[in-house]
Structure 1
Amino acid sequence: MSRFFPAPLLSVSLFFLWLLLNLSVSPGNLLLGALLGVLAPILMAPLRPQHAHVRRPLVIARLIGRVGIDVIASNLQVARTVLFMGSRPPRSAFVHIPLDLRDAHGLAALSMITTVVPGTVWSELALDRSVLLLHVLDLEDEAAFIEHFKHTYERPLREIFE
C-alpha cells in the first residue's frame, strides 16, 4: 500500500487543494485531483530520501501559535520602525546565532519561521550547520535576541524533530 501512497497525508492534501483551487467538484476535477494526489508523491518520492520523524503534536501547536503571535507583533514593530524612522533610525545588524538543531527538516522549518516573521532575514547557514547568520531590522540587545530566538524557535523544533 505504501508503494502507491508513499505520503498519504500529502496525497489527501493535494486532492483537496486541487478541488479548492478549482472551486469545483465536477467529475473531471475529482479525477484530476485524484491523479495528482496519487502520482505527485510517487514521482517525487526519490527527491526526498530522508523521512521526517515528527514528535510532540502539542509542541507543534504551541509553536504555531507563538509564531502567529510573533508575526503580528513583528508587523506592528516594523510598521512603527518604518513610520517613525525620522525620530530614531533602525539599528540593523547581522547576528551570528549558534545552533544546536541539526535535523534538516527542523532547519527547514526554522528557515520558514524566520522568513514569515517580519524584521528578520535568514542570510546564511554554516556548512556544518552550527551557526546561522540572521539579519535583524532593529536590534536592541544582541544577547537577548539570541536567547529569545533559541528559546522561542530552536528549542521547540528540537523537541519536535530530534
Structure 2
Amino acid sequence: MRRLFPHPRMMLVLAVLWLLLVNTLNLGHVLLGLFLGWAIVHLCSDFLLHVPRVRKPLGLVLFTGKVFYDIVVANLQVVRLVLGPKSRLQPAFVEVPVEIDNEFVLSALACIISLTPGTVSANISSDHKTLLVHGLDVPDRDELVAAVKSRYEAPLLEIFECSKT
C-alpha cells in the first residue's frame, strides 16, 4: 500500500489545492484532484526529502517564534547598517561546522539562516559537514558560528528526531 500511495497526506493536500483552484466541489473535480495529487507525488518522489518526526511540537512552535523575532531584529540591524557609514561594515564568509545529518533539517537550517536579513547560507560542503555563511557585518567569526549553532542548530536537533553525526 505504501508503494501505491507513498505520501498520502501530500496527495490529499494537492487534491484540496486543486479543488480550491477550480472553486467547484463536484465528483469529477474531486476525482481529478485525487488523480493529480497521486500523479504529482509519484512524479516528484525522487525529489522529496524524508521529514523526520517532530519530537517536541511545543518546542517547534517556540522555535518558530524565536526565528520570527530574530528576523524582525535583524531587519532593524540591517537598516541601521545600510543607512550608516559603509566603512563600518565588515562582510565575511564564515564556515560553520554542522552536526545535523538529516537533509530536511539541514535544509531548514540553511533556509532559516538565509531568511534572517544580513546572513545568507551560500554553500554546503559535499560531505554535508560545513555550511558556508555570508554575513553582512561580521566583527567576530567565532561569535557568528556560536550564534548559528546555539540559536538554530541545537534547537533543530532537539525538536526533530535526527541524530548528531
TM range (shorter): 0.7 to 0.9
Indicate the RMSD between aligned Cα atoms, in angstroms.
2.3
The runs of 4+ residues in structure 1 deviating greater than 3 Å are 26-32
Structure 2 distance, partners of 1:146, 1:31, is: 50
Distance 1:93 1:46, change over 3 A: closer
* Distance of aligned partners of 1:19 and 1:81 in 2 relative to their CA distance in 1, 3 Å threshold: farther
Residue 156 of structure 2 corresponds to: 157
Unaligned runs of 5+ in 2: none
Q: Percent identity?
A: 35
Partner of 1:122: 121
Inter-CA distance 161–88: structure 2 relative to 1 (3 Å threshold):
farther
Give TM-score scaled by structure 1 length: 0.82
Give the Cα separation in 2 of the matches to 1:3 and 1:128.
Answer: 30
TM-score, with length taken from structure 2: 0.81
The answer for unaligned runs of 5 or more in structure 1 is none
Q: Deviations over 1:107-162 (max 9, x none)?
A: 11112112211111111222222221100011233222211110111112222141
Q: Contact 1:91 / 1:140 at 8 angstroms: preserved in 2?
A: yes
Judge which range, 2-11 or 151-160, deviates more: 2-11
Number of residue equivalences:
159
- CA distance in 1 between counterparts of 2:35 and 2:68 reads 34
The residue that corresponds to 2:44 in the other structure is 44
Deviations 1:59-102 (A, max 9, x none): 322222221111222122212222x2337532211111111112
